[in-house]
Chain A
Amino acid sequence: MSAAPLLEVDGLTVEFRSLHGPVRAVDGVSFTIGAGETVGLVGESGCGKTVTGLSLLKLVPSPPGRYAAGSVRLSGQDLLAMPESGLRAIRGRALAMIFQEPMTALNPVFTVASQMTEVLRRHGALGRREARDAALALLKSVGIPEPEQRLDDYPHQLSGGQRQRVMIAMALSCDPKLLIADEPTTALDVTTQAQVLEEIRRQQATRRMAMLLVTHDLGVVFETCARAIVMYCGVIVESAPVAKLFSAPRHPYTTGLLESMPRIRDEKLRELPTIPGRVPELHRLPPGCRFADRCPRAKDDCRAVEPQLTTAADGSQVACHHPS
């Protein structure tokens, strides 16, 4: 990793208006991604991972959302402070995003070719013919069968896996430095998921592109990322290289998530480990640690003082008064 990271998120705080007053979906989140690095952002629904991902492109709908504090710097430029015109030059170019449901992200009334060439012609300043050739080359590179025919198809004529490949091809069309992938394989079947993940890994490695993979699936993170960040109730609770996070998790929430994750085991267990209770609502967060009510290690200090994210010598981080 070079001295200045590619992406620097510092104290990002995103508020949403709600019936109960403003709630913080993301509350003081800071992390960095180096050039070519793959980082997984994991957590359960409502933990703020998707809002964090959207914030990196300043795509949180406003209202009801509001960037209350913090900055997102890409190669030193603060995206949150940038006017919309400046952002448009960056979105899809230096920063690209793929979404969970490609059917809603693709426009149903335009062919694959017209949607792909639009990006290429706008950012790449290519002519009509050149853009079509470039789109064809991209479709080939992401392994779509019969790419010439697919160019003139409409999104509904493609299968789920093919649509997601088209989304990947579009995201890659301007050689982004950072790809943000929000649950890119969650809507797909396992065998298709394996194909698409393989493709993302291959593209990421050949293009030396950095990636933030937002997902609830720890197995996907383990297989795709070098480092993982775990979020709970709007804050980061742990961040570590994937091998370390999975073999020696330090935060009790990470431990609980890993244990309760259904996985194929050599012997069937009589009882699956669980995390007792449930995620607190954002407008009714407990004082102190947000996980204290569900934590087997919680002591008095956990219920009084919110633990801060502390960094160890090797760069891994944990926010816990009693980490293992």
Chain B
Amino acid sequence: MTVLLEVRELSKHFTARGGLFRRAGAPVKAVDGVSFTLARGETLGLVGESGCGKSTLGRAILRLHEPTAGEVWLDGENVTALSGDALLEHRRCMQIIFQDPYASLNPRRTVAQAIREPLEVHRIGTPVERERRVDELLDVVGMRSSARNRYPHEFSGGQRQRIGIARALALDPALIVADEPVSALDVSVQSQVLNLIANLQRERGIAFLFISHDLAVIQHVSDVVAVMYLGRFVEMAPAAELYRRPRHPYTQALLSAVPQPDPARRAGRIVLQGDIPSPTDPPPGCPFHPRCPLAVDRCRGEVPALRAVAEGVSVACHLIE
């Protein structure tokens, strides 16, 4: 498999600006030195709790947030070095799907206008060809072409998410960043949209960076899973391996915390103590050590590096050989 996306030591820090009555705050290290590669047509599931930096990472890769440091290579080109027309040209290859399709669709534009817009921005096709493409895309996401002249508010959440997906597909991207695409949907609709995404990935060979807090959803769509905590990857492994044998204590706790209709799982629950520390003031050493049931002295002083421990499996923990 060829590498599509390579992320090297990517960081995104936010600084609270100082003002008349306020000193400039310490930077929030939302993403702190993340590296990984994603093969063409593969799905990387990015999982973590709120504030862990997963959405910021997705946006920094697309340069919707300007990275503070590090590089993003897509298809052999350094995206972080591009600007102007070259960047616009490259954005064709990478698209995003948001959590709330109602907030991301312009309420005053019809479905056809919304899906056509990327084609117009990139000056692709004639007006007639664009119209044909809109119908084709609606068909791909399982909607009737009668939807084209209606407005976003006329649709349910699941249908709006299908419109968002059609829009993301308009430019035939090689990579789609999907940021919590099914979190706002009800269970019965959620599974319809997940199946659609899985089919698109199989049939069109699109690579996905699929961001979610939901481990069950991540398992269904991912080839590889990365677990994030306070701006860093703590574990990355093939999906089957991660769910069968979670190695990092945080991954283990996260997996055991998911409420499941299965009495066997409840018995093995690990209930963590305390809250996630504030990213403005991360603890020294391993960011997870204040909540880790296994922490030893070394964890309090030294930051563990992400290193390979088995075929395709990397973990950032001092206790794992």
Interface residues of A (CB under 8 A from B): 44-45, 145, 159, 161-162, 189-195, 197-198, 216-220, 222-223, 246, 256-258, 260-265, 268-275, 278-279
Q: Which residues of A contact B272 (CB under 8 A)?
A: 191, 194-195
B220 touches A272 (CB 8 A): yes
**Stretch binding the partner chain, chosen from B169-177, B203-211, B259-267:** B259-267
A261 touches B187 (CB 8 A): yes
Q: Which residues of B contact A194 (CB under 8 A)?
A: 256-257, 259, 269, 271-272
Q: Which residues of B contact A198 (CB under 8 A)?
A: 271
Q: Which range holds the interface residue count of chain B?
A: 35 or more
Give me 13 other A-B pairs in contact (C-beta within 8 A), A190-B215, A274-B195 excluded: A190-B213, A192-B275, A193-B257, A193-B259, A195-B271, A218-B261, A219-B260, A257-B188, A262-B216, A262-B219, A262-B220, A264-B215, A275-B191
| B78 interface hit (Cβ, 8 Å) | no
- In the complex, per-residue mask of B183-198: 1 if CB is within 8 Å of any chain A CB, else 0: 0001111111011001
Tell me, in angstroms, the Cα distance from A31 to B190 when the chains sit together.
29
A258 to B, closest residue via Cβ: B261
B260 touches A264 (CB 8 A): yes
B240 touches A268 (CB 8 A): yes
Tell me, in angstroms, the Cα distance from A312 to B49 when the chains sit together.
43
B52 to A, closest residue via Cβ: A189
A215 to B, closest residue via Cβ: B259
Tell me, in angstroms, the Cα distance from A263 to B194 when the chains sit together.
13
| B57 interface hit (Cβ, 8 Å) | no
A162 touches B188 (CB 8 A): no
Specify which of A192, A198, A217, A262 lies most central, judged by the most chain B CB atoms within 10 Å of its CB: A262
Interface residues of B (CB under 8 A from A): 49-50, 156, 158, 186-192, 194-195, 198, 213-217, 219-220, 239-240, 243, 253-262, 266, 269, 271-272, 274-276
B255 touches A264 (CB 8 A): yes
B187 touches A219 (CB 8 A): no
B274 to A, closest residue via Cβ: A145
B239 touches A260 (CB 8 A): no
Tell me, in angstroms, the Cα distance from A262 to B258 when the chains sit together.
11
Q: Which residues of A contact B219 (CB under 8 A)?
A: 262, 264-265, 268
B214 touches A262 (CB 8 A): yes
B239 touches A268 (CB 8 A): yes
B191 touches A274 (CB 8 A): yes
B261 touches A246 (CB 8 A): yes
B308 CB, min distance to chain A CBs, angstroms: 23
Q: Which residues of B contact A271 (CB under 8 A)?
A: 195, 198
Q: Which of A145, A190, A260 contacts B190 (CB 8 A)?
A: A260
23 A-B residue pairs with Cβ-Cβ distance under 8 Å, sorted by A, are A44-B186, A159-B276, A191-B254, A191-B272, A194-B269, A194-B271, A198-B271, A216-B186, A222-B260, A222-B261, A223-B260, A223-B266, A246-B261, A260-B187, A260-B188, A262-B187, A262-B217, A262-B220, A264-B215, A269-B220, A274-B195, A275-B188, A278-B158
Q: Which residues of B contact A272 (CB under 8 A)?
A: 191, 194-195, 220
A189 touches B213 (CB 8 A): yes
Tell me, in angstroms, the Cα distance from A279 to B195 when the chains sit together.
19
Q: Which residues of B contact A279 (CB under 8 A)?
A: 186
B51 CB, min distance to chain A CBs, angstroms: 9
By Cβ-Cβ distance, the 3 closest A-B pairs, closest first, are A219-B259, A262-B216, A189-B49
B204 CB, min distance to chain A CBs, angstroms: 17
